[in-house]
A and B are shown apart, each in its own frame.
Chain A
Amino acid sequence: MKARKEAGRPAKAAAPDFNFRRLPGGRVLLTNDSGASAVVDEAGFRAVAAGRPAGKTAAGLEAKGFVRERMDFEGYAAARASRNTFLNSGPGLHILVTTLRCNHKCLYCQAGAAPAGGNGTDMSRKVARKSVDFALNSTNPGLTIEFQGGEPLLNWATLSDAVVYARRRAKAAGRDLRLALVSNFSLMTEQKARFLLENEVSICTSLDGPADLHDRNRVFAGGDAHALTVRWLKYFSERADRQGPGYRVFKPSALLTVTRASLGRARDIIDEYARLGLGDIFVRPLTPIGYARKLWPEIGYSAADFAKFYRACLDRILELNASGTQLRERHAMIMLQKIAGADPGYLDMRCPCGAAIGQLAYDYNGDLYTCDEGRMVGWEGDKMFRLGSVLKDDYRSVMLAPVSRACAAASNLEAQPRCARCAYKPYCGVCPVCNYESQGSLWGDMAASDRCALSMGMFDALFGLLQKPAKAKILNGWIGQ
């Protein structure tokens, strides 16, 4: 009897290897380690879990590796390898802190800047050149050297020398090198701007929204912070639109740092970016490091508040897109690229994270750190994330430094109990520095982590929008899909 029963039924199928997350409305998101994703209803979910998807969606699920008995091993391995090619490259981003001095006093500044008139916190030309030499050791085929501060224009002599030196060294070595500057523009002049354009330095600044909001967050005693930012954004934008012979001009980019004052102002902020003709906006949550951590009770917010704000921003951006205004949100683009199987090179959402193996931060005195956040912790007196010095350590010893290994181990999502079972694992990453600062260990506790909740909120918002065909079309258009 028993044998007959078994003969009449197909053998029990095993479930495929997948993670899942229940979305609002009863639908379920499925993902796997190749990075494939699918959204199914409850019945479809039960069928996948039983190893027997059927109906119209079965072929699509099979192609994505959600049917264990019909997997394309080669395709799966190729997709997974392609998403992780960065593991074979050395650090690509090299952040040179040319000075700690700054003439702004931004409420959220995690850079813990020194006063503009201070001394002893500028990078010398010798250290800058050593830093460039060190960066060129990296095996990464596409290097970026980013000049940061403080306000890097306060140390123009070193900055301009390092730009020329880096271009010369890269040319001699046949290396592909991008140069970038992060500046508040308050000290920008026509002469400096021309130099930067001629040397193909891309420009990035902060724009926190309309004047009242920007000036409230980014306190500048020396003038009108918002007006200066707008003036130079327009200057670089116009030149990028015109281009010209001899060198490429990059479109300037702007970052939004969200404080409590930004919540409820999503529409104003997005409209300000649209008004200025900026193509992208990068909506970034506050990081509770440095000065921002001290001021958290006044400027901080919950992950749920941020998720609501982020969704409001996306809604407004999509509304503008639908009416013909081109504006994209960069976090969404990064996530969309990852969902589509590409590696956008975003170091904060990688497994392992970019600390040391994806980026290095070079402090004004030549000290090397895992990342800019790690450097900030060092500036506060805790050298936990210090890797060595460009003045006396070699590349190998820096890559093998205990903290490089510790950060890689701590940010391995396979070893994080929550992340290993999370549907967003193929697209996400954890930050050992944030964990250390907010929870007291590199490892952290994702169940209680605000950063984890923030990321979840952003992914939820995006996957929610991707379920709506008209919005999905716009979003996928941002990454050429």
Chain B
Amino acid sequence: MTTRKLSIAVKLGEHKAEAVRYAAYAVSGSAYVHISPAKGGLRVAIEPKPGCGPAPALAAAFRRELEDEELRARVSAENRELREFLLLKAVNYRPAPPPQDDSGLTPQQEKELNDLIAQIENEIRTEAPGSDPLGITSTWEDRYESKKRSRKAR
């Protein structure tokens, strides 16, 4: 009884194939799901895995997931550029440095200098083969000893 296979017809005008695929994946822990082309859409066959089921409950779960995945697909599509922008912004985020009044530079000069440094660092990062922008391969000495040395030299 619990191993009976159920088939669900999905109209592609109502649901995206991507949403069907994700919804199928969501229930794939409990069921074998086979998606095949059918007239006007897709046919989704759901067969409970041993110890899971019953099939009607899994089919109902699939339908619920399908609605949610449809929304997720829309949210994902509408926000692709925003998501990438926010990711870049977070990766490049640096907290504002505390104000320094003894640099001898005007704020404009300081900004120009920082822009120049950022530009050069960016060029080094993008041009170096096998670049390591996060410094994951650096040792403690690589990162901090040179700074210590230059401080001592001063």
Contacts and interface: CB of A to CB of B under 8 A. Distances in A.
A207 B76 CA distance: 45
A327 B34 CA distance: 49
A447 B49 CA distance: 13
A17 interface: yes
B71 interface: yes
Contacts of A138: 139-140
Most buried by B among A136, A137, A421: A421
Contacts of A395: 137, 139
A81 B90 contact: yes
Nearest to A421: B72
Interface in A399-424: 399-400, 417-418, 421
Contact of B28 (A81, A136, A447): A447
A399 B130 CA distance: 13
B93 to A, nearest CB: 4
A16 B25 CA distance: 24
A139 B90 CA distance: 21
Contact of B86 (A80, A88, A449): A80
Secondary structure of the B contact surface, majority rule? helix
Nearest to A135: B140
Nearest to B83: A17
Contacts of A400: 137
Most buried by A among B68, B83, B95, B140: B140
Contact of B22 (A20, A136, A421): A421
B82 A17 contact: yes
Interface string B70-113: 01101110110011011101110101000000000000000000
Contact of A448 (B29, B74, B76): B29
B139 A81 contact: no
A14 interface: yes
A11 interface: no
A103 B29 CA distance: 40
B151 interface: no
Given A139-B135, A418-B26, A77 B79 contact: no
A247 interface: no
Contact of B74 (A15, A19, A87, A418): A15
14 contacts: A14-B78, A16-B79, A17-B82, A18-B75, A73-B89, A80-B87, A136-B140, A173-B140, A395-B139, A418-B25, A445-B29, A448-B28, A449-B29, A453-B29
A76 interface: yes
A357 interface: yes
A183 B21 CA distance: 48
B75 A49 contact: yes
Given A76-B86, A90-B138, A448-B28, 11 more contacts: A15-B71, A17-B79, A18-B75, A33-B86, A33-B90, A68-B82, A90-B136, A395-B137, A399-B137, A417-B22, A447-B26
A54 interface: no
Contacts of B91: 81
Most buried by A among B22, B78, B139: B139
A448 B144 CA distance: 45
A396 interface: yes
Nearest to A400: B137
B11 to A, nearest CB: 22
Given A77-B93, A88-B134, A417-B25, A17 B140 contact: no
Interface string A343-363: 000000000000001000000
B83 A33 contact: yes
Contact of A139 (B27, B93, B138): B138
A84 interface: yes
B143 interface: yes
A396 B141 CA distance: 12
A81 B95 CA distance: 9
Contacts of B142: 139
Contacts of B136: 90, 357, 399
A63 interface: no
Given A417-B25, A447-B28, A137 B90 contact: no
A447 B140 contact: no
A78 B86 CA distance: 10
A418 B72 CA distance: 12
A40 B101 CA distance: 48
B74 A396 contact: no
B135 A88 contact: yes
Contacts of A49: 71, 75
A137 B139 contact: yes
Interface in A441-466: 445, 447-449, 453
Contacts of B69: 421
A80 B90 contact: yes
- Identify the 3 closest CB pairs spanning chains A and B, nearest first: A17-B79, A80-B90, A81-B93
A277 to B, nearest CB: 39
Nearest to B93: A81
Contacts of A445: 28-29
Contacts of A421: 22, 69, 72, 76
A404 to B, nearest CB: 9
A77 B134 contact: no
A399 B142 CA distance: 14
A448 B51 CA distance: 13
B77 to A, nearest CB: 10
A17 B75 contact: yes
Contacts of A78: 93, 95
Contacts of B74: 15
A84 B75 CA distance: 24
Interface string B1-33: 000000000000000000000100111110000
